Structure 1
Amino acid sequence: MKSILLHVDHDRGFKARLQVALDIARANNGHITCLQAVSYAVFAPGDIYGSAMAAAIPVIKENAENLRAEIETELEHEGVSWDWRFVYGMAAQRLLEYSPLADIVIVGPAASGESEHGPSALVGDLVLKSRAPVLVVPAEATGFDVSAPALIAWNGSSEACHAVRGAVPLLACSCKVTLASIAEEQDKPRFDLPSTEGARYLSRHGIACELVEIPRGEAKIADTLVSAAQVRDCGLMVMGAFGHTRLTELLFGGVTRQMLTEPPLPILLAH
């Protein structure tokens, strides 16, 4: 991962994903582009003359400048190549604009102004529209050990294949890769690729992996995958996102939605 796009924001998880970005950059001799998007879209009921917005703009600008000064001072002592992009506009749109030449986009599970008790709209937009894989970092993360075991959540879908392909540089650093699939008792005939094809693809990149089939049981698929990752002391999970339509995921839930609500470990997603 040579080109790392990092979302800069005031949310409580920023320091966590900054540390993860630094760890990945050091391991790959990579470059971090810190993208700070500032929006002046302030809504106040009854503010027909824009007085609330006018009062908020200087505060928003000052907070953004203070955060930039603080992080730039810290980065100067990290020994990592980086640059800073300060732009106006909505974060999701600006990140998408800068993502085409990024090897990975690093974000948190929730941006400023979003609820921390549900999946992030910012993450959803990035995963669906960006060609680069998206790494979602929990706010509680203290770093990223690139050599730690990794778990691939495999269901043979094109989304899972895209995630594996995007994760190859990180998987190549892992000491042990597990490709796990959930066995459904009443699987309908599908045209998805078997796990052996995923293993064969990885082998061509010099990455050996263990194939594991986990019984579905009574637990939710997301919980089963998390348990499998925790048992193996994984530092990364790789999975395809929004295998069903996003509307279906939002209305009825789904593995992606469950994973993004409270991610227990860094999760690399691709659609």
Structure 2
Amino acid sequence: MTMKSIMVHAGSDSAFESRMQAGLDLARRFDGHMSLILPRPTQDYVAFDMFGGAHFIAEAFDAAEKERAKLCARIDERLKAEDVPWDWQLFDGTTSDALINAGRLADILIMSLDEAGAPGIARTWVSDVVTGSRTPVLAIPASCKQISFDRVMIAYDGGFEAANAVRAALPMLMAATQVRISEVETLPEEFPVTDVASYLSRHGINAEIAVAAKGDQSVEERLLAEANAWRPDLLVMGAYSHGRWRETLFGGVTKFMLGELGIPVLLAH
């Protein structure tokens, strides 16, 4: 299994460099194609008056279009030196809607995480896209220089979302040197962690199992402690669970891990 269609959220923000580098790394590793997805939020150029009317601010839109063209030209010049095929795709609408629409036929979509301890708009975009589409998202810290998956940790809770994340991550798991399936023991399991190990073994992946007692910590605190102790290059987890963790939508464990871990996270819904 492999990843051939790799889509990257493009933009003029400072974190775009890390996203693009991750896209290049994956495209090289899996001999894939990188598409740079550039949202064009036309709703940002609509003004409303006090009488309920609205009008399009053409001057502002034209100025933004020129900036987008400059961005594309600058990145094109840089990518000429890379050994990866790429293209641009522009989508109208909000950032979340543009990425959801672009990702319909993507193997993976690369987005950014907010810096640890500093919640921002990036986490909202990730949550919107993961829960609004069926495309797995690789969310990476802005400070990430390159993507590595020598050591991969799977956060498993017995839910559909965690299982979907494992399937989405198979190409990375097959390339990994070490794989650990981590579970925080809370309630009896309907789909035990050993099922994941058996599934992975059929793909030639020898994974170790680590079940941690919850103790007096929350599930997210215990899982974070496990990740900090084992120090994986990548975390694989479901983005929203109806299973034993009983998260609210993109809250609880998922939200905590995205804000505190500081490593790339592969998410699926």
Q: Report the equivalent of 1:63.
A: 67
Q: 2:257 aligns with which of 253, 256, 259?
A: 259
Q: Distance in 1 between matches of 2:161 and 2:199?
A: 15
TM-score of the pair, normalised by structure 2: 0.86
Q: Distance in 1 between matches of 2:31 and 2:151?
A: 21
C-alpha displacement at 1:51, in angstroms? Answer: 7.7
1:207 aligned onto 2:179: no
Find the residue that maps to 1:217 and give its secondary structure.
coil
Q: Report the equivalent of 1:125.
A: 128
Q: 1:22 aligns with which of 16, 21, 24?
A: 24
Q: Report the equivalent of 1:176.
A: 178
Kindly indicate whether the alpha-carbon contact (under 8 Å) linking 1:6 and 1:33 is maintained by their aligned counterparts in 2.
yes
Kindly indicate whether the alpha-carbon contact (under 8 Å) linking 1:127 and 1:133 is maintained by their aligned counterparts in 2.
yes
Find the residue that maps to 1:79 and give its secondary structure.
coil
What amino acid sits opposite 2:70 in the alignment?
A: N
- Structure 1, unmatched stretches of 5+, are none
Find the residue that maps to 1:227 and give its secondary structure.
helix
- Structure 2, unmatched stretches of 5+, are none
Kindly indicate whether the alpha-carbon contact (under 8 Å) linking 2:159 and 2:242 is maintained by their aligned counterparts in 1.
no
Q: Please give the residue correspondences for 1:149-168 in structure 2 after superposition, counting only pairs within 5 Å.
A: 149-168=151-170
Q: 1:216 aligns with which of 214, 217, 222?
A: 214
Task: Check 1:85–1:234 CA distance in 2 against 1; reply closer, same or farther (3 A cut).
Answer: same
1:249 aligned onto 2:249: yes
Task: Check 1:247–1:45 CA distance in 2 against 1; reply closer, same or farther (3 A cut).
Answer: farther
Find the residue that maps to 2:110 and give its secondary structure.
strand
Q: Distance in 1 between matches of 2:175 and 2:50?
A: 53
Kindly indicate whether the alpha-carbon contact (under 8 Å) linking 1:96 and 1:129 is maintained by their aligned counterparts in 2.
yes
Q: Distance in 2 between matches of 1:31 and 1:37?
A: 19
C-alpha displacement at 1:128, in angstroms? Answer: 1.8
Kindly indicate whether the alpha-carbon contact (under 8 Å) linking 1:105 and 1:134 is maintained by their aligned counterparts in 2.
yes
Task: Check 1:47–1:261 CA distance in 2 against 1; reply closer, same or farther (3 A cut).
Answer: farther
Q: Runs ≥4 in structure 1, deviation > 4 angstroms?
A: 43-52, 244-247
What amino acid sits opposite 1:126 in the alignment?
A: V
C-alpha displacement at 1:100, in angstroms? Answer: 2.6
Q: Distance in 1 between matches of 2:127 and 2:136?
A: 12
Task: Check 1:118–1:129 CA distance in 2 against 1; reply closer, same or farther (3 A cut).
Answer: closer
Task: Check 1:225–1:11 CA distance in 2 against 1; reply closer, same or farther (3 A cut).
Answer: farther
Q: 2:144 aligns with which of 131, 141, 145?
A: 141
What amino acid sits opposite 2:95 in the alignment?
A: A
Find the residue that maps to 2:241 and give its secondary structure.
coil
Q: Report the equivalent of 1:81.
A: 85
Find the residue that maps to 2:42 and give its secondary structure.
coil
Kindly indicate whether the alpha-carbon contact (under 8 Å) linking 1:35 and 1:85 is maintained by their aligned counterparts in 2.
yes
RMSD: 2.6
- Identity across matched positions, percent: 35
Task: Check 1:55–1:76 CA distance in 2 against 1; reply closer, same or farther (3 A cut).
Answer: same
Q: Distance in 2 between matches of 1:90 and 1:118?
A: 12
Q: Distance in 2 between matches of 1:58 and 1:31?
A: 30
C-alpha displacement at 1:263, in angstroms? Answer: 4.7
